[in-house]
Structure 1
Amino acid sequence: MMKLFFFKIISDKLLLGFFLCLLWCVTDSNTTPTLITATTPTTISTTIKPPDDVEEVTVKIQDETSITLMWNKVNNIPTYFLKYDDKDGAKEKYINQTNGEQAVVKEVSHLTAGTVYHFTVITISDGLNSSGKSVETFTRPRNADNFKSIEETERSITLQWEKVENNDYLIKYGSNEEPFTVLDENPVKRKISGLTTMTEYNFTLFTVFKNTKSRGVHIIAFTAPPNTEAITVVGQNETSITLQWTKVNDMLNYTLVFDGSEIHIPASEGNLTTVSNLTSMTRYNFTLFTVFENVRSSGVNISAVTAPPNTEELISVEQTETNITLRWKKVENILNYVLVHNQLEENVTASKDQEFVTKTIIGLMSGTKYDFSLFALFHDVRSSGLNYTAATAIDCAAVDWKVTNSSITGTVEGLFSNATASNKSHSHVSPKGSTVSFTGLYPGATYKLFLVYEKQSRTFEQCKHTLTITPPDLSAHCEYLAAGYSIHISWNRPAGLWTAVEVNVAEKTHIVNNMVEHQVQISEFKPTKTYKVSVAALSGDLRSSTPFVFSCQTDPRGVIAGSVMGVLLFAVLVCMAAFILLKRPDIIRRNKTFIGGPTEKDEKPITVPVEKFPDHFYQLSVDDNRGFSQEYESLMPVGTEQTRKEANLLDNKPRNRFNNVLPYDWCRVKLTSSDANETSGYINANYMPGYNSSREYIATQGPLPSTVNDFWRMIWEQRVKGIVMVTNCKESGKTKCEQYWPGDSKPHMYGELVVTIRYEQKELFWILREFTVKHKNSSEERTVKHFHFTAWPDHGVPQGTEVLIRFRGLVRQHIEREGTGAPTVVHCSAGVGRTGTIIALDVMLQQLEKERAVSINAFVYKMRLSRPHMVQTKSQYVFLHQCIMDSLQENERTAEDIYENDDMIYANATALLQFHTSSNA
């Protein structure tokens, strides 16, 4: 131990000597070194001063991972120590500035971004250190990672980035800067609002530490374009849906998203697209995006379904003159269908258990082609549609056939392609055209007429009719028998068929049905007399076109006895005449006065009692309705000489629907409103006589668009309680009458009148409505019943009499219940044909009930004195008689029964009204 102690003392002394020698070596050469010997026992005291610190340490450059420091040398000392702490602990860097620069520049690298550092610069000189000069600084923060745009709208962009620990942020775009601090959010999201739509923005994100920004990270983002204003479905079929939208900008593209798929639509392709290869009867949800620089708008949504398939078949199973019955196979799971014809749509609902669906379309025109389109419905979307053409049948019985003993001709109003007439094995084909003509027929034979219409390989039977043509003409002669009291008539047998021979002699008709014999003997004649005889062949109800007429003289035996009796009778007559002249000479004078009196004709109307009406009807019907034709033609000139000045005024002509149906001046309805805005009191309407008064009805035309207000004005002023309409607004595609009532329950103004429909009850052949009418200048409100008969063709007659008789019962019941004495308005299109027929039917049925007689011809005559053309066609005139005839049939209901049933119908309508009233309460 002692040895080690002495060794250490010696070593320390040697080390001290080494430093002293070194100090001497570096001393200025002019300095005289002081030599200190070891043998001198003198103690020397020496003090060494440490070097000075640098005056200032400055930060020249700051980066994320390095800091560059700068200071000036102290007394040109080149050696320094640099102390600092980092994440790995305390560090020292030895710096020896060997160049000749006065400033020392030192970059310290491998630092941590965004971190505060304390640097101390120590000057080293002569083995001594200065106390050190310190400076505090920090590294620049690093940029944020994953800086991107995550959401774009029209007015905002949402940015996102990964958080940098313990730093603030600054976002710069354009001239805008937005600083903010983030706490615990990661990733960081920032929504930049108040931007301009469809605009490019350059965003720079800076991380901020100690007011120092990072270098910044840049992105470019775009605000979203606006959505299209509207997107609609413009077409659907079984496998595709067509969408259309309003374009936003001609330069914008679009993206349509549906069912996990996307369709990109360039701006050049417009604003219409069809999405194909879809599944039938399926709902699809579509979202349409406007695209700008690959940025989408928020999107517009629309839902649509594909159409159902069409039915597999559509056929006509029955055609009548006014009806067509269609049948089709039901599409699986589809119960609703739409049938379109004549621009009208009818909804048809099938039941779940039926395989085939049938629909009868009624109220059609005879002999007319109709095009049908059938659509299946799925969520109100129609299938592509199945088209079908059918034709209504023709009433061949109503054709005015001209029949001779060898031909049949007639003009058929209706659609047909071919017409044939057949008798057993013989067939005749008519030439093409509306006129059917068959020639070279066998006299008296019965032919079956068959009219067909062919369309697209389908054949429609238009009508079947049987006609017997005129039997052949006969020639005959006679012989007298039985001493002049009988005659014997014989006739030839010409080619042809007949069922009987009609012999007329002495105003008596004898029918011979025995076709084996061609002769007949007729007794009870007077001898020595010449009788006019006619012979005609009969085939059913037809007779030879020209009866064979000849004279036949009876046997002259017995003439003497007859002459004697004649002389005696003459003598008796002479005596009686002389006696009368002697006793009553005034008879001759009276007769002369009568004969010389006025010759004015004063015919009494013909009234036919009930018990004689069938015979009267039969007499008018014989010879192809010859009696009807004569009566009707005699009515043609009635009333036509009366003036119609007001109707022909220039201002009033546009108010007339037809220029040949003008009201007579003496009985026209005059509008009397005092409204200054009304310029005319004219309306095409006449007062009409009835059974009870001379103004029981008003016959008028169907209103025109320009006369609807006048029509309601007349209803108000005449205090009308009932309107009878016997036309449809449109028939065969032509407007027959303007709809003059509201189409819904909302009140509608017609001039100064407010009209509201309270209820509407639709039946098979008519519609019952009830209106309330109120004048805008008063509180008075009136009720008007509307009786609308829908099954009466223009210029024609209804299918049967019963329906019209029942309808008339409804009207008559209403008139008698009201009992106001106000006229009932009746109109069709012109206000003469169907209008005159229904008025006449109402009056005749009243007369029939109260007088047990009718005078049809006289009443039509009377109506024509009040309005021209009343009961406009011969068919309507015949139909009027047929209505009376059917009313008398034993199997038909009595008038009382009809009224009873009408009460039930009227009660149903009243119940419906009460239901509506309670629903609105």
Structure 2
Amino acid sequence: MINSSASARNHVSAPNPVRNLTAQAQNSSSITLSWKAPEGPEPEYYWVQWTDDGNTTGSQSTANTSFTAEGLEAGTLYEFSVNAVKDGLNSSWVALNASTAISCLLNSVGYGDGWGSGLQTPDRGPERSRTPHLWPRFCGPHSLASRLLPMPRDFHFALRRKRLGHHGCAAEGRGPWGSSPFSLYPHFSAPSEVIALQKQNQTNSFITLKWEAPADPRPQSYVYWVHWASRGHLQRKQGPQGHQDNQTGRTNGTRYTVEALVPGTWYSFNVWAESNCVHGYKQSLNASTAPDPANITSCVITSGGHEVILAWSCPQGGYEAFELEVGGQLGPQNNSSCGEAVKVSLLRPAQSYSATVTTIWDEMRAPSASVVCHVESGRAGVIAGAVLSVLLLLVLVGLLLFFLKRRHRQREKKPAPKDLEIRFPGDIPAEDFAEHVWRNERDSNYGFAEEYQVGLTLVSGSRVPSLPPAPSPGLLLPDDWSRVPLRALPGQPGSEYINASFIPGLWSSREFIAAQGPLPQTVGDFWRLVWEQQSHTLVMLTNCVESGRVKCEHYWPLDAQPCTHGPLQVTLGGGGGAEDWGGRGKREGVWKLRQADSLPVRQFHYMTWPDHGVPHSPDPLLAFWRMLRQWLDQTVGGGPPIVHCSAGVGRTGTLIALDVLLRQLECEGLVGPFGYVKKMRESRPLMVQTEAQYVFLHQCILRFLQQSATVRAQEGATYENVLMENVAATEA
């Protein structure tokens, strides 16, 4: 085991030497070195040694690729050596020579206690004493140091320096001719503050400062120091790795650009003047860099073009909020969604959108590069599959119609046409309607099947709304541009949605509201719809339970106990009775729906219409319609009537179509069932949901033409709820 370990250790090679050893910064008492790590495996640590005149004066290890040697002599040349250490093995040394700085020059000297511009000596005349000399002055971190300094005319002088703070340094010595000791005490006053310090320009990586020189006698001889330190930002408390948050710079001018700053970060700046090594008073300024732009990582179109899912990465540095712009539409500011997907809704349907995310920080804005959003690949495959399925279905239906027509024409011994042509009826005169119905009923309603399955199927597609409906399996979604919006509730996203659509009528594009029957979680929304639209009339065409299944929630009070839905209260106000109606019971009740004001509402309930089916006769439905139409004609003002069944398309669409077409017949002597049903489906999909309901609509119109205006219903049952002062509905 020992031999094996020794053998393995012999195969470990020493690390490579460090690279690019340089002196990064120097002053009168310290030198900062930096280097790059050696190629190959990263070393464990580095040794740094430095010598003065060939003698080792210091050594230290460090794990970083930079090092500051402190406590050095001013104006002295040092030799530095650096090597790397790994697994106990050292790399070869890399050497560098660097000198500490001389702090400044002493321009005025004195002998004894006197002051003058030259050196005065006892054995030399005044002419020589007036000869000016420049004396080096050293100001470093040590309290005492001595150095022989060469002077003009072979004169040497030993200087001893002392720290005197802002007053400079004192020098002591003795001349070689035996003169008495003397001291040199230069006296310098501190410069005044710089004037009008301000930020001239900034980007996301640098800030330029400018100022005016102090109002002193000789400001042209000043140098200026700029110190800056990071104050951080909202998202990160420290700068990126390797960034220096606390630095100092020097310039001879009155403008300085601080570079390599972190975007979106506040910095504190201090600027002061210096003359003869004496610092002036500081002038301070706080300024921020501009933010970095965000990078959009994903932009996908969903929900049939009404919605975009947008994601972007967090920018470097600080940020306060993000502003989204999709398709030229400016959205609200988003405070904390970088790195997450954000859904942008309420868009007009389109194939593509351009999107931009703008970073906001300290009232500065940085827009991202604009990207073009694309259709989600999975959704595109589903759409393509659906389109292909519809095309295949249309081909099969066309072939079926072709063979049915061919067989029909052969039986009538008529020559087959060269081209199959499908024509759909327009408005039909009243005197021709009976023949139109008789012609379409032949061959097992072949004509009605052709109109419904081919002509109406082409317009029965639902577009996904911009807000999600309440969850209920099997229910249809309204088209977004005809959907009835509710007033949004504060702090409740999606509260403006209800499954209801405006339906055009004979005189108005919003003559009716077709709605889904209330669900347990949407009863409050339904009463908000009644209140906000100021509708006086509710028409219910379903029972709450049919064939053992719940079709509609019981949304009105069962007794005198009120029901409260947010700010609205539904209360039984009085009244009630019963009478015979075609062999069925009819009861009346009064309920009150209270808020600040009141709204009278009346409900009409047809109770014997099966889901996805039709009544066994048109007569009871025509009687129900006459009662409803009489109420609507005498009710002035208010919003459109609200009609609902279970899904709000089949029975609801048939009754609305019957009302509009019978009034068209009375006013114009014409009737167009196919055209009006097609028009309804452009506002709400699948209105008149089944072919049987489409045939029954024609039968009701034909029966209306045959009846007198006062025929009472022989079958079926209806009842009517009279609601006084903001009322709801009830059920027998």
Q: TM-score normalised to the size of structure 1?
A: 0.31
Structure with the bigger RCO (C-alpha within 8 Å, sep 6+) is 2
Structure index of larger Rg: 1
Q: TM-score normalised to the size of structure 2?
A: 0.39
